[in-house]
Every structure is written in C-alpha cells, then in structure tokens.
Amino acid sequence: MTENNNKQKDLFNKHQCRYDSFAADSYVQEYTMRMFWSRFVDVLKDSNSILEVGCGGHTNFVKLGDLGISPGTYDGVDISDKLVEMFEQNTPDSSTGYCADFTSQAFDPGKKYDCLLFIGVLHHMTKSLDAALEKCSELVKDGGHVVFVEPNVAFLDFARRIWYRFSDEFDDENERALSIEEITDLCENHGFSNIKKEFCGNAGFFVACTHEILKLPWFARKLLFRPLFHLDVLLAKLNWKYISAQHISVWKNNGRPIAPPVDSAS
C-alpha cells in the first residue's frame, strides 16, 4: 500500500465513529435522501448487484432498505479495515466487504456488477483518477451504471481548500473537489456515456451535512434546517453549478472505447 493510501487509511480509521454517527443523523438522512438519493434511485432499483466504493460502516446499505431496495448482491470496498469490519457485521451474509485500494490492479472481487456506487468517494482518489475509471470499466457489466455524488469545484472551492488544509479530518494532499467536466472527460475516455448530470446543495447542505465541522449548536441547526432545506430544494431546480455544493452524475457502461484504426499507409 502506498504512503498516500496509508495516510487515508489512518485518517478513516481514526474518524470511523464520527463518520458512522454523522451518516445516521436525522437531518443528514432527510437531506441526503431528498437531495441525493432520489436522483438515482431508479438506477439502484434496476440493479441486482451493487458494489459500493468507499462503503464505510453500513449506513448507505440501510438507506437502500429505507428506499425499499433489496439487491441480490450488495458488496463494499473500503481502504479502512475498521470500516470494512463494521460493514460485514451489519450487512447480510450474502454481502462481502473488501479491505482494499479500489484503484489497485490487485483488487479483483472476481465478479462484475450492475452498478458501482460512489457517494463522496472519487474526490479521495485524485492521484489515481484514471486508474479508478479503468477499474470501473473492468467491474461494471456492459449496460451497467456508475453513480457519482461529489463536491463541486465550481462552488466555494477557495473556502474548501482552506478547510481541507487546516482541518485534521481531511487529507489535503489527496482530496480535492472535482468539476463535472473532469468527471465527464474521465468517464467518456473509459467507455461510459452520460445518463444524468444534476447539481444541488446550498445553505441547507452546510446546515445538514457539515454541522460538526462548522460547530453549529443544536438550537441553531434546529432553527435553520427546515427553511434552508426548502430553499435548497428550490435552488436545485435551477440546476446551476455555481450555486451548488454537490454534483450528481450517472453513467452507463458502453463497453471499452474502440481504438481508432491504424493507418497502414503512414
């Protein structure tokens, strides 16, 4: 495992309990279900086999149950051994948790999936983005899908960079926000076509999903969440990247891109 991977593994192991409690928070649940999951739930319902990349403990598996989705196979891969252990303890016996670097050539679950799910994960792989998409093309069935939910570089990125730099909860050497254009280029270069691109998340996102980092007191959060949540719902209808903290994209695997023919006369 590389030095960068070891750093991320140590970081996620250190903060595992915070991640789990954060994802189980009622405001986070309500916000993410409405603003994120509802936008790709149709893809998940049509997928009999799902691999969650950066699976964490098990909270996203619980969300699938809340949505009435029960895939035949729901596996997870994470670089944190502690989080994979939690995943395996809290998912059915049919699920497999892999402690591995998803971008490594050595990672091979021995099967292909209908859907790969990245919930705020690809931006942790910025040193290996091509390798990540190459692995996606290997593990997604032809006609299958990849879902990305990622922080949007076009919105308040200067503040995010400062935040990543000075907080011990982030790895500023490997993490950065991604543009939808960067993800588009990566996906198209690896044989994926776009099904959906959407933007969402404004003031309500920060109240719901970054409250621990912003140190919002509970009474302020309780007061602000509902009006700002509804504001975010309205702003999301504009689908404008410059006012949105997150972008969501869904991609279909069309098979590996075909190399252009070689001109034998040249």
CA 115 to chain CA centroid, Å, is: 13
Q: For the chain, which residues score pLDDT lower than 70?
A: 1-23, 160-173, 256-266
DSSP 66-103: HTT---SEEEEEES-HHHHHHHHHSS-TT--EEES-TT
pLDDT for res 22: 65
pLDDT for res 101: 94
How far is it, in rounded angstroms, from Cα 74 to Cα 59?
Answer: 13
pLDDT for res 51: 98
Domain regions of the chain by residue span: 3-253
Helix (H, G, I), strand (E, B) or coil at 123: helix
How far is it, in rounded angstroms, from Cα 46 to Cα 29?
Answer: 22
pLDDT for res 197: 97
pTM for the model: 0.89
pLDDT for res 175: 80
pLDDT for res 266: 38
How far is it, in rounded angstroms, from Cα 63 to Cα 49?
Answer: 16
pLDDT for res 148: 98
Query: Yes or no: is domain 3-253 CATH 3.40.190.10?
Result: no
Residue 50 bridge partners (DSSP)? 74, 115
Q: Give the Cα-Cα-Cα angle 167, 168, 170 (nearest 5 degrees).
A: 80
How far is it, in rounded angstroms, from Cα 127 to Cα 172?
Answer: 12
pLDDT digits (tens, 9 = 90+) for 66-100: 999 999 999 999 998 989 999 999 999 999 999 99
> Long-range contacts: 221-225, Cβ < 8 Å, 24+?
221/27, 225/27
pLDDT for res 165: 65
